Amino acid sequence: MPTSRTRKDKALQHALDLLETVPLLDGHNDLPWVIRLDQTARGDVRAYDLTRVHPESDTDIPRLREGRVSAQVWAAYVPSAMEHPARTALEQIDLIHRLHEAHPDVFLPATKASDIARAKRQGKIASIVAVEGGVGLENSLAPLRLWHAAGARLLTLCHFGTLDWCDSATDAPRHGGLTAFGKQVVRELNRLGMMVDCSHVSAEVMHHALDVSTAPIVFSHSNARALCDHPRNVPDDVLERLRATRDGIVMATFVPDFTNDEVRMWMHPLREAFKRNTGGGWLAAIEAWEQTHGPRPKTTLEQVVGHIEYLAQKLGPARLGIGSDYFGVPTKPVGLMDVSRFPHLLAELIRRGWSDDAIAGIASQNFVRVWRAVEREGERLRRTTPPAIGMVQDYDTPASSA
């Protein structure tokens, strides 16, 4: 009789076999910010040396290979309280380009959906630029076109802080969603063929984005709020609307306090304290907190899969993806400690009866479909719609309208 270990190994081998032909895409990794903050590398990609295993962290080339990663969305992250956010956004986009230059045998710069399959054929990792934090616009529409020209294909509208035009999920709302300028940001992203990412935004912004966007929207690293009541997660009414729209995708994340309510409550004071943080210090803060409040509760791979299955019930399996947020937090779920563990996540879905087609969808095919739809809408709009220009004050006045 097969043992539990035998069944587990069989599921893992099934996942590995599937990933020989199906690309695996992760929707969010904060490695560029970690390289920026590293006290030795100080933003120098070559000095950081991704060719070696970094036991102190979770992402490097050997473990990306072990995890069968074929496509990675890298966050050009800009903290909400950062001085010179426009410059920071460009510096982080540049750092991602330097990843490509330092390791041309590993990374293939990806600016269109078809690049994911091309990278897989070449045995490389498609490298996709995402700007995380619309604060880098500095209230102007023009940087969107420069970011697009520099290869960015996704914008997370805001981060932990509310902006002059967009309410954050984790800050006091000021606008009841998107302002007129914020809605114009969405429209210009549609015109450019860049993905509108609603991770980090308030529920009202999610609804406004669904109202305004003529292209599918994405949640690059978010879970289900019904299972973990964190404002960063997607509420059921938004999931219902997303299912009723022409398309879209929610990419389940591994962040423990977006996955497990017990961890969320334990982490809440630290999240509040670090809301405006632009540097490191997470690990030291957690260690100090554990000294006075006891060990941090554990989150598991199985709990992440619970969110995936809930999202599948609400959205259908064709609107799901994976957005790990590796490097975004200092600790990970048991079983998902680093980027080598993606096949183990898929193996758990296989053990729960997911079909090969559904696994292929969540691995990358759903994201590719959405990206292609965004590209098509951009091509359509650029034939008839001129570039949007102006600043927040040109839209958000008493006389302006959405």
Residues with active-site annotation: 28, 30, 132, 159, 200, 221, 325
Cα distances (angstroms) measured from residue 162 to each of 69, 75, 175, 178, 333: 33, 19, 9, 10, 28
63: part of which helix (H) or strand (E)? Answer: helix 61-66
What type of residue sits at position 128?
A: I
CB 348 within 8 A of CB 302: yes
Number of H helices and E strands in the chain, helices first, is 17, 9
CB 203 within 8 A of CB 238: yes
Distance (Å, whole) CA 228 – CA 307? 9
- Strand ranges inside 242-346, DSSP E: 248-252, 320-322
**Residue 219, SS3 per DSSP:** strand
DSSP 8-state symbol, 104: T
Distance (Å, whole) CA 57 – CA 280? 13
**Residue 343, SS3 per DSSP:** helix
Distance (Å, whole) CA 344 – CA 98? 30
Query: Rounded to the nearest 5 degrees, what angle is found at the Cα of 78, between the Cα atoms of 174 and 219?
Result: 70
Cα distances (angstroms) measured from residue 322 to each of 28, 73, 208, 312, 325: 8, 11, 24, 12, 9
Query: Rounded to the nearest 5 degrees, what angle is found at the Cα of 344, between the Cα atoms of 280 and 323?
Result: 45
Distance (Å, whole) CA 300 – CA 292? 24
CB 92 within 8 A of CB 99: no
